[in-house]
Amino acid sequence: MTLDRRSFLKFLGAGVGAAGAPMISRAADFMPKKGRRVVVVGGGYGGTIAAKYIRMMDASIEVVLIERNKQFISCPFSNYYIGGLISDLAPLTIGYDKLTANHGIKLVHAEVTGIDPAAKVVATANGNIAYDRLIVSPGVEFRTSEIEGYDDKTDQAIPHAWKAGEQTILLRKQLEAMKDGGTVIVSMPLVPYRCPPGPYERVSLIAHYLKQHKPKSKVFLLDANSDVVAKKPLFMKAWKEQYAGIMEYVPSKKVTKVDAATKTLFVEGLEDHKGDVVNFIPPQRAGAIAVKAGLVEAGGNWCPVNATTFESTLHKDIHVIGDSCLAGAMPKSGYSANSQAKVCATNVVALMNGKETVDLSGINVCYSAINDHESISVAGVYKVAEGKIIAVPNSGGISPVDFSQTRLEHLYAESWLKNILTEMSS
């Protein structure tokens, strides 16, 4: 996966003559670096927080945040929209104006096209940006090449809705347009993937919508895994008590082929499932730029990092946080990315100032709604032991299975969203 110097140059299309010539011409360097600089790639749950906390901890470090979109739309809570609990994506949408103004972060709206770890330069469509340290927080990329029949247009007929925005709206529209008595199929990949409880929350909220508005319909969850991988007793209870007859969980169904035209999913050449609305969530790996930059481990899909600094074990001075990285016991969640970003920021500042690094103390808190007034949660505290991120023994866990806290958790979940998005946007 690693791009060597030659292919990187080809990729950049930078004009370079004889060997030994500067790799990237000065003219292309559209933000000349004067002092110490950290570049952050990706303005989501991880990147915004890393940029902000570096500036809060050491305002003498210049921080450049590169993000292709003008707004960020949260994946957490996008199932609320799909299930009709909220009527638009506004509560999930944040801009970058306040964040950058409050903290003096330099924002570049551009697509990152390459990273040269040796020259310590990020290439964007606007030009090159040099860094002392780079933090990469690019989320996930779909491994669609592993799925027969999947092409550029597939997600227009069978949306993944696993990156929030147009895809989320498309899936909701399809559910609204479906006749009562229709079949909805949600297909989810093997672990690890972004947001372990997300698919289970999604089918719950789709079932909630169908129960109210299209009670003759049914939603199936085809899980590639052999069992529910997150909050199992809680989801099982919700499905049994609230969605019996309208929702069906089907384990060990790994989809290997799709036919968008007929909205059909094929399971390992053995059987096929046709739906009126099909939500196919493809298998995933580290974000495209992390793959391109050679930050992904050989034979794997994710980026190995140091458990204290989140520095890549493959490329010096490049740190990877959020869904893309291998963070031991921490799940691939928005809250994990937030927590990792702060650990990374703390230690990037320490390293740049020649100070001792501080071991990770991290948290994950993740709520899932099961209907319009009840939510369940998982929470964990993490630390480093023998170079690995582990869950602190005898802590963390899921909500009580008697559902005694579900209404309260639904209320707290709303404030979770408000707080975490406010942290990212101000």
Partner 1 sequence: MGKMRSRGVSCALLTSGLLLAAAGAQAGASTPAMLSNACAGCHGTHGESAGPSMPSLAGQSKAAIVTAMKEFKGIPKKDAEGKPVLDKDGKPVLETRTSTVMGRLAKGYTDAEIEAMGDFFAGQKHHSPAQAVDKAKVAKGAELQEKHCIRCHVEDGKEGKDNSPIMAGQWLKYLQVQMDLYTGGQRKMSEKMAEKVKPLSKEELDAVLHFYASVK
Q: Which is nearer to partner 1, 71 or 361 (CB)?
A: 361
The answer to whether the CB of 271 falls within 8 A of the CB of 255 is no
Does 306 help bind partner 1 (rule: CB under 8 A)?
no
Does 409 help bind partner 1 (rule: CB under 8 A)?
yes
Helix 198-213 and helix 232-242, axial crossing angle in degrees, nearest 10: 10
Does 261 help bind partner 1 (rule: CB under 8 A)?
no
Q: Which is nearer to partner 1, 281 or 389 (CB)?
A: 389
Q: Which is nearer to partner 1, 86 or 417 (CB)?
A: 417
CB of 374 to partner 1, least distance (A): 12
Does 394 help bind partner 1 (rule: CB under 8 A)?
yes
Token pair, residue 164, equals: 């929030």
In Å, what is the CA distance from 103 to each residue of 236, 325, 337?
A: 45, 26, 20
3-state SS, one letter per residue, for 389-403: EEECCCCCEECCCCC
Among 126, 328, 384, 403, binds partner 1 (CB under 8 A): 384
Euclidean distance between CA atoms 414 and 80, whole angstroms: 11
Q: Which is nearer to partner 1, 133 or 410 (CB)?
A: 410
Q: Please report, in angstroms and rounded to a whole number, the separation of the first and last CA atoms in the chain.
A: 37
Does 332 help bind partner 1 (rule: CB under 8 A)?
no
- Amino acid identity of residue 143, one-letter, is R
Among 61, 75, 103, 162, binds partner 1 (CB under 8 A): 103
Binding region for partner 1 (CB under 8 A) out of 20-28, 30-38, 275-283, 395-403: 395-403
Report which secondary-structure segment, H or E, holds 414.
Answer: helix 406-425
Buried b (16+ CB within 10 A) or exposed e, 345-366: bbbbbbbbeeeebeebebebbb
Nearest to 51 by CA among 10, 119, 106, 124: 106
Does 16 help bind partner 1 (rule: CB under 8 A)?
no
Site size toward partner 1 (CB under 8 A) is: 52
Q: Which is nearer to partner 1, 123 or 360 (CB)?
A: 360
Among 26, 32, 179, 415, binds partner 1 (CB under 8 A): 415
Does 267 help bind partner 1 (rule: CB under 8 A)?
no
Among 8, 53, 72, 310, binds partner 1 (CB under 8 A): 53
Does 321 help bind partner 1 (rule: CB under 8 A)?
no
Does 48 help bind partner 1 (rule: CB under 8 A)?
no
Nearest to 279 by CA among 203, 177, 367: 203
Q: Which is nearer to partner 1, 137 or 217 (CB)?
A: 137
CB of 245 to partner 1, least distance (A): 30
In Å, what is the CA distance from 46 to each residue of 1, 65, 175, 384, 402?
A: 24, 11, 31, 19, 34
Binding site for partner 1 (CB under 8 A): 52-53, 55-59, 102-104, 335, 338-339, 342-343, 346, 358-363, 365, 377, 379-384, 391-392, 394-397, 399, 405, 408-409, 411-412, 414-420, 422-423, 426
